Structures are given as C-alpha cells and as structure tokens.
Structure 1
Amino acid sequence: MINVNGIRLHIAEQGEGPLVVLLHGFPESWHSWRHQFGPLAGAGFRVVAPDQRGYGRSDHPEEVDAYTILHLVGDVVGLVHALGEARAFVVGHDWGAPVAWHTALLRPDVVRGVAGLSVPPPFRSTRPPLKAMQERFGGRFYWNWFDRPGVADAEFARDPRATLRKLLYFASGDAPDAGRPENVLVDPERGWLADMPEPGALPGWLTEEDLDNLTDSYAKGFTGALNWYRNLDRNWELTAPWHDAVVTSPAVYLYGDRDVVPAFPGTPELIDQLPELMPKLRRRPVVLPGCGHWTQQERPDEVNAALLDFLTELRG
C-alpha cells in the first residue's frame, strides 16, 4: 500500500531497473497485467501495477468528482515519486490508456515513454463527449448508461462474478460478434447484461482462478470504477488548456482488430492520422489479428514483444 495524492493505492511490484507503471482499465485490476510482470522484470525493468483509485484494494473516494482525469494523472505522478523515481515509462490499457496518454501530455518531464493499448491518444473534441453521445445515440451509448447514478452499479452488483464473466467474454475476440459498434448500445429498460451472450466456457486466455481474483477485487462494488465515466464531460472542461496539444513523449499504440473501441465513431480516422499527429510515435500502430479488447490478456506474447522492443530501445 502506497500513500499517493491523498489516498492509498494498492500495488503489485516485481523486478529492478527503470520503472514501468502499468495502468489497468474497466472492469479490471492490477491482475490484468499478470502476463507482463515476468517478461518485463526479466528484461531488467522494475514493474509496478496499481489498483487505480476506485478499484480493488485501493481507496474508493465517495465523491464523484474525485475521479477526474487530473486526479488520475496526479495518482500516477505521485506514485512515480513515492517509489523514489523522477521518471517512468507509463503503459495503459482501456481507461488506463487515457490516464497514461494524459500523464505524458500534462507531465512530459515525468514520462520517459508512453504506450497505449486499445484506446488511442487523446485529441480533445469540440463537444463534451457524454452530451455528444447522448444526442447521437439517444442515450443508449454505454457511457450514458453508466452516467445514470446507481443504475449500472446495481445491475453489475447483483452477481459480480456473472457480470465480469459476461463482460470479459462479450468484448473479447472470441465472441462471435466482437468489434461491432452496435454492441455498446444499451436497452435502458433491460440493462446491458440482459442481451450479452453467456459463454459456455471461458476463453482460453481466462481461467476460473483469474475470474475469481477479479471478482474478489470488486468486493466494494462498481461505483468507484463507474465514477470515471461520470467525469467524462468534466474532463473535457478541465482539459481545455490542452486543446490541440499533442503527446510529445516517445509513444507506441497497440490494438486488436476485433476490439470495438477502435471502431468508435471517428476513431478509425484518428488512428489513420496518428503518424502525422504525433511526432514521436515510434511506428504505425501495432495491430493484433483476431484480438478483442483485452489485449495484454488475449495476446500476452505479442504485447510483451512490442512493449519490450519499445522499452529497450528507449532505455538504450
């Protein structure tokens, strides 16, 4: 447990050398990086993965506005310094990717290099994202569903293990309809889980023990994690000073070709433009064939190879 930015963060740690901070997404925990610890530590890096605020054994502030992007970046910067380092490599997946990208954007002096999985680098839109999606999809986009106080919280908490089992399978490359944008539209009357397929068996990359570990990390419920989404418009307001700013740290971006996130409205066009928009993007995005949303879990060998190539190059 590390005291950081006014809260306590639970971390997992392995290895010695240059610091690499691994940031998980939703609905995950530090455990989503279980396949990265050994290879990165074995290559001479100090690997640290926190349960981010609102997740797992870390603190879960009650106030919704305690989960803004400035709080989340502050947690990363504070963690790097609390670990006795001035700089670190920062790697993020899903929600962890925007935190990693924004840490590099707001504090490039702290970031030696940044890698994002699934979610591409942030380029601030001209409209608040929750309002834009509300209008575009009539309130059915899952961000707007999550924004309703207590609604998704209650749906997910009725049976946390079943919730996580469905969500992980549904967004994986193993699901028959993986990668279809309409998958993230929710029936407001029935909830999101009602129409998700029930996997007959877990995908090969996910064991029952992995699912047990993840379920245990949601003993405090889902509200802290959902509060991240409830700050999307507030984040848009807070990041106004960085409108049109770009990440200048060395960077790499990876995603699966069956991941729904890179198919969100406007995202394919952004990905095509990344080499021109980001001066230090080391290469074109790394695309993982057949991979869904859970990149580092579904394709650990490919992800590890890409990260080690990137990290060792920067380490010199």
Structure 2
Amino acid sequence: MARVIQPFEFVEPSTIDEALGLASSEGSRLFAGGCELVLSMRRGLARYNRLVSIMGITGLDGFRAHPKHGLEFGAQVKIRQLANHIWVGKRWAALHEAMEQLHPPHIMNMGTVVGNLCSAVPYYDLPTSLYAHRAVIRIGDASKVRDLPIDDFYVGSRLTALKPGEMVTSVFVPPPVADAGSAFKKIYKARRRSEDLHKINAAAYVALDAAKEAIVDATLVVGSVGFKPVRIVEAEAALIGKPASHATYEAAAGIAAGTVAPLTDAAWVEEIRSEWIRILARDVLEQAASRARSRHDPAEDAHLAY
C-alpha cells in the first residue's frame, strides 16, 4: 500500500553550481522527472528533507539527433521527446524500442532518460539499450565535464560512479555505421512470490560488411540479471567475422546463456532464466542484423540541419 509522502523542502535553482550546492547537504537529492523518486518515497524506501529540481537550470534541455553526427540529449529532455523523433527510431532502434515499451504511459511524458539512468534500478530497460549503443555519460560540476562510458557508470546496486558535487549533464550516443542495425526485446513472467524472476531484457547492435554477408562489429547486452546490464563480450568476439546467419546467432546466444552467472540456488529458476537469455540474445541479434541488411537511409545524401 502506498504511503503518504513526508513533508520536504522543494527548490528549483537556475544554475548547476547552485543546484549542486543545495544538493550537497545531508538529506538532499537532485532529481529531474521524479518518477522513480516519488515511487520510492511513497513506498517508504527513501526519505529526503530537500528535493532539488534540475528542470529550471539553463542549458540542460539540448537535444540533437543526426544520423551522421550522433544523438545527444541533456538531463532535462523527456523520454517522449526522444521517442517521437524520426531519426531516433531509424538509427537508434534499440533505444527507441525500449522507450516505446515503457509503462505506465506517464513515464514517457514525465520521465527523463537521464533520470532513468541515474536511478540505477537493475531491471530498467533504457540502460540495457544504451549499453548496446555504447553511450557515453557526460558528467559535470560547476567548472568542467568528464566523459564516462556507460559500461563504467554503474558501480553497485542502485549506485553510480557520480562523485559528490557532480551530476549527469547529458548523454551522447555515437552514430551507427552505414550498414548497422540494433534491436531491443524483453520477456515478462508473472510472479507467484516477490523473489521470483520477473523480467529479462536484451539489446544488440550488429554491423555488416559492404556485401552485407559477414558481421564486422557487434554488441550484445543482457539486463535484469544483476545490478547493471551485462555485455556478453565472449559472444561479441565470437560474432566478428562470422556469416550473418541464423546459426551464427544461435551459437552466440548459447554463449550468452552460459556466461551469465546464476542469481539463485534454485535449479529450476536458473534453467528458465538461461533459456530466456538464449532466446532473447538470438532474437535481438537476428533482428539487428536484418535491419542492418535492409536499411535504407535517405540521410546519406541529404543535407540535414541539427
């Protein structure tokens, strides 16, 4: 049952320096959309004396999506803004699919991608898709910005690599190469007990050679199997140079299923989980490669403005 949220101070600074200063005191928390934050507070899992909104800070609303120069969005950009952009759907399909499958619907309208990432919830979908796209997290304080690969952003259960006095200012997602595609999928399962396995998600990025017959680059990621998404580097290495075929994806999926360490000592749970991983890995690789093979990109000859 939801609880009544305890009283707190709400502040909305106009600069990063001011926001970080206000959030540095004990019992304070930076937030953007606040979807996960409010849920945690209503459940009694978190309590803060002061909430510091970043939504009034100048310069965090930047958003650009260009097929050749990449995707970059600031900490204030709502999920809906990205999901509605044509080039996000065309060139960063795994991210687009993860956003389109979010529920309930208000998450799309109120939540921000950066807020979703910073919540560090192990079973969220957007981090898995951004791992596949090899996103870079841009972290700033009042004077400088540092870039951190998303692979290094999560350091523990609901813990990120943010240091005191820092915040995520934006996320950069590199442009895919010409003959590349990506995909995201997830499987839900009804739970009989709170400790039962609930969901597993997976995302892949596949780039093909000029003849669109062999794999030249790949990323395979499985989420909801630990405190952060897991890149299956053994499977990625096994894909490089191999034919873009069903047998190749099956072999890589088998590697993925055998790579992820068990989460429980219940044999029947682990058997189901391994099979889910195998199926998801095979399907996202196959769909990503299919998109790479059939992609038609008018931007190759168009002069598009940012």
- Same-fold call, TM > 0.5? no
Greater Cα radius of gyration, structure 1 or 2: 2
More strand per residue: 2
Higher RCO (Cα < 8 Å, 6 or more apart)? 1
More helix per residue: 1
